[in-house]
Amino acid sequence: MTCNKALDESVLRETAAFLSEYASLLSGCGATCIRIEKNTRRLADAFRVGFDISIMPTHVYVSVWDDNPAEAVVTVRKTIACGISFNLNAKLSRLSWEVSDNSLGLAAATERFEQIRKTKSTGKWETLFLTSLANASFCRLFGGDEIAMLIVFISTLAGYRLKQIMLEDKRDIRLTFLCASFFSAALSAGGHIFNIGSTPEIALGTSVLYLIPGVPYINSVSDLIYRHYLCCISRFLDSIVLTVCLSAGLCAGRYALTWIKMVLA
């Protein structure tokens, strides 16, 4: 009996460790709390174990038990900061359905999970070009002319590349947003100050849209609806701070270029 009980506890620990690793990676790639909760519960049901999860802003707590919840095995994992990735999010969600529909065991699920963890993000040069193109399209959507679109494309290309470099160097994300916004705004403000094109003000206003933390804002609303209030407040405040940083960079870039023009005049 003692040997069987120890074996059962070992299996529970492995299951709890897998579920907590899964939940922490799902949280890190930008999933909402309700998605994390549903996906991990789907996995736990497939493994036929009792399950409970608590999602905090920076940690995930997973409890797993066999028959008696009082004898639950609890594991804690820090949220894996891998950056927002829709591709990784979709693959992890698909894994939970594969395990549930095909009755995969813990070993097979772990092997598949390790493969997913090695998923490479979209190439930085492709992301750089597509982000610049998308931001130029936003400029057109808001009524900008072709010259404004070109200005936005160039300013986004420069600002986003600066963001990539600073994040690769492990710089603080708030400082990164401030510097990238300042750089993009300073470039695009040239069209407004020197009257280049017919809609320079639209170019200036849309040059920093690529920095808007849209996903965290949306996730905070989802967490609010499903009563994950701590994560809701944390994500919302993080988004507010980043928005303030990019706004400060936008204003500083415009006024810096205005001051330079006054000095040269």
Regarding whether 238 and 151 lie in a shared domain, the answer is: yes
User: Do 44 and 128 lie in a common domain?
Assistant: no
Same domain, 20 and 105: yes
Domain check: are 134 and 54 in the same one? no
Counted domains in the chain: 2
Query: Are 129 and 259 contained in the same domain?
Result: yes
What does the pLDDT profile of the chain (265 residues) look like in tens digits? 444 454 478 889 999 999 999 999 999 999 999 999 999 999 999 999 999 999 999 999 999 998 888 889 999 999 988 888 889 999 999 999 999 999 899 999 999 999 999 888 778 899 999 999 999 999 999 999 999 999 999 999 999 999 999 999 999 999 999 999 999 999 998 887 777 888 888 998 899 999 999 999 999 999 999 999 999 999 999 999 999 999 999 999 888 877 877 776 6
Cβ contacts of residue 37 below 8 Å, gap of 6+? 53, 55
CA 66 from chain center: how many Å?
Answer: 34
Considering the domain architecture, whether residues 136 and 228 belong to the same structural domain is answered as yes
- Identify the domain containing residue 61 by its residue range: 2-117
Q: Which residues of 161-196 are buried (b: 16+ CB within 10 A; e: fewer)?
A: bbbbebeeeeeebeebbbbbbbbbbbbbbbbbeeee
Whether 142 and 246 share a structural domain: yes
Q: Which 3-state string (H, E, C) describes 60-87? A: EEEEEECCCHHHCEEEEEECCCCCCCHH
Residues 51 and 28 in one domain: yes
Together in a domain, 250 and 132: yes
Model-wide pTM > 0.85? yes
Indicate whether 164 and 233 sit together in one domain.
yes
Domain boundary pick from 117, 138, 163: 117
Both 155 and 130 in one domain: the answer is yes
DSSP characters for 205-224?
HHTTGGG--HHHHHHHHHHH
The DSSP call for residue 53 is: E
* Residues 200 and 247 grouped into a single domain: yes
